[in-house]
């Protein structure tokens, strides 16, 4: 039986070695699972923070888009107001242009009439001329007229 006893001791020692190895492996596996669990929790926290930042970024983007739309509406109103002011200014310029053309035509007519009337008036008034001393000269004779100067019609 010595032979069976030696085998049994060898088997017991091998079993002890396998138990120790199994305990070490189990301990290592438990530490690995704990580490993986901790890392998983840390990743979940990071992902949650990242998701919160994404949500915040999306809200910010939506706010910016709304601000852009509001500003675009303001710009549209401003451009319409400027367009109406430009149209009003164009109308005023058009009215002023018509007035300037009319005034120029009136002045041109007056100048033309004056240019035509002065030679005609001087031909009619040529028999009598008024001198600076108040003396009316007519064909070499001087006559004093105190107030009224009459001319002879030809």
Whether residue 2 is predicted with pLDDT greater than 60 in this model: the reply is no
Predicted confidence (pLDDT) at residue 149 exceeds the cutoff of 70? no
Average pLDDT of the chain is: 82
Residue 136: pLDDT over 90 = no
Cut 0.85: pTM above it: no
Q: Who's near 130: CB < 8 A, 6+ residues apart?
A: 136, 149
Residue 3's pLDDT is 57
Please state the rounded mean pLDDT for residues 99-105.
94
User: Using CA atoms, how far apart are residues 78 and 56, in angstroms rounded to an integer?
Assistant: 32
Tell me the domain boundaries of the chain: 2-144
Check pLDDT > 80 for residue 125.
no
Q: How far apart are CA 78 and CA 71, in angstroms?
A: 10
């Amino acid at each position: 039986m010595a032979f069976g006893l030696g085998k049994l001791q060898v088997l017991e020692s091998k079993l002890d070695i396998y138990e120790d190895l199994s305990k070490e492996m189990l301990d290592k596996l438990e530490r690995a699972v704990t580490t993986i669990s901790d890392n998983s929790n840390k990743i979940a926290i990071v992902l949650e923070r990242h998701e919160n930042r994404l949500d915040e970024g999306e809200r910010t983007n939506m706010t910016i888009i709304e601000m852009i739309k509001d500003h675009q509406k303001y710009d549209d109103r401003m451009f319409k107001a400027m367009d109406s002011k430009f149209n009003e200014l164009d109308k005023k310029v058009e009215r002023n242009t018509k007035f300037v053309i009319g005034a120029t035509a009136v002045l041109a007519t007056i100048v033309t009439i004056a240019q035509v009337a002065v030679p005609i008036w001087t031909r009619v008034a040529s028999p009598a001329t008024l001198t600076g001393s108040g003396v009316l000269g007519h064909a070499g004779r001087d006559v004093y007229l105190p107030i009224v100067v009459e001319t002879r019609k030809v």
